[in-house]
A and B are shown apart, each in its own frame.
Chain A
Amino acid sequence: MRFIIRRLLQSLIVVFGVSIIAFGMLFMTGDPTEILLGNGADHMTVAQIQDFRVKMGFDRPWYVQYASFVGKAVQGDFGYSFVRHEPAYEVIMDKMPATIQLASVAFVLSLLVSIPLGVLSAMRPHKPIDRIATVLALIGQSIPSFWLGILLILLFGVQLKWLPISGSGSWQHIIMPAITLAAFPIARNMRLTRSSMLDFMQRDFVRTARAKGISETRVVYAHVLRNSLLPLVTSIGLEAGFLLGGSVITETIFGWPGVGREIVSAIGSKDFNVVQAGVIMLALIFAGVNLIIDLAYSWIDPRIRYDT
């Protein structure tokens, strides 16, 4: 119980920090009016600029503005999108299902590929299959996602014409974005599964299981793999952040209509209310996923609860 309360408090602090960052982004250069008006301020009189400042509430002390920002944000009010002329929150929430869909497919794909590859690698260390998988993992961790996306478009979209190169609407549309987004987690989880399994294979309980004459398959799957997957659960929490952050680039490359592409587009048009709403909503989802995973982890592995 103490662990749960402590973890909930941590999440609250994180949410507070995220709100500070999202609120503070407009104050980074000193004057938020200047940021929002941009070059448009060159064509305005001083009085007009001052009117805008008062209208937006930027003439008030920063802590009053922050309190007002938080008060509205908890009600889902992030102001209006200057470009779309609708509430920024709605702009983001309209795009959220597409982002969650892409991240979920990439997540499942990463687990389906990485765990079997990691197991295969660990069962035959330093053999050809292990070397190939290790090299692929190293490449997967090194190749930038936008470059992988472009390569996939060139090969499967432009040359072979097997898959649509952008947009959404059919299952074919999600294949290339999901592979692009999953490439890094596949590589990382594969390496993690491999090293974790190799580590557990040396443990006494595995040696005992083997000495008792249990079949190798049972030793690997029932004893080694089950224990080796524990570190992967922690990694999954971080993966949520990677998938949500990575969606910014992947969605932009493939024209996937999600939150990431909306944020990039809003940055281009200086529609900062949408940027704030998008960043906060993604960070909240990330914090929520991490909280659930930590609680689940403490349930799976009780040592966590006692160590904290």
Chain B
Amino acid sequence: MNTSVDHEQPRRRGIFSRFLEQTGSLTVFSLRFFPNVFVPPYELGEVRRHLDELGSKSLPLAGITGFIVGLIIAMQTRPTLFRFGADSFLPAMVAISFVRELGPVITALIVAGRVSSGIGAELGSMRVTEQIEAIEVSGIDPYKFLVVTRVLACVLLQPLLTAIVNAIGLFGAYVAVAIESSMSWQLYWDSVVQSLTFADVIPGLAKTAIFGFIIGIVGCHQGFHAEGGTVGVGRASTTAVVLSSMLIIFTDMILVKLTVWIWP
């Protein structure tokens, strides 16, 4: 196809103009999600398929990471707290840090690495093999079928996945506590529950839906606009991970500030 001429052009443009172009393109692409998500057809079968595909396959990696991080935090902080005679605060410290910050961010970064790149590669490969055009010429909106279903699955999935990773992380921390002290599970769990308030749990889980949106939309955007054959597919996949991870951390920084402002 003659559009190959078009592919040469980005290399000649400046970094700043490419950045603006990408930002504008991602913003417009993201905003299309909101009207489309409420308009039928809903493609619920596809959403279910993605929930299963993205969720069940991300859980093992996110769960193991959560367990190890919980274990390490407890192992690292216990000696310091013990020195000040404050080791009884360990469950509360682990619980607050995990539920407010570590759980949501770790889960989001793990899912970004796995899911965002996967979506980028899958849609990128569909783009370069003209499968997206094939959907379009069938009179079906490919954005609605491919993007809305995936992003919605990510938005629904992320809070659920984070809640599970939080629980696994807290269990990991207990394992470290149990190895080095005689604290019972009951006592540990009571301390965890008492230390947490809605102001810790709700913002922690709510922001994961935003992380889910970022993971889905960035992966879809990169894949949807992939060009230049297999090289383009690889580029879409890599950029999806890098960009979504950066946006997650940046958004988290803003949301932490916002949370502290709302619940001082």
- Asked whether A and B interact, the reply is no
Residues of B at the A interface (CB closer than 8 Å) are none
Residues of A at the B interface (CB closer than 8 Å) are none
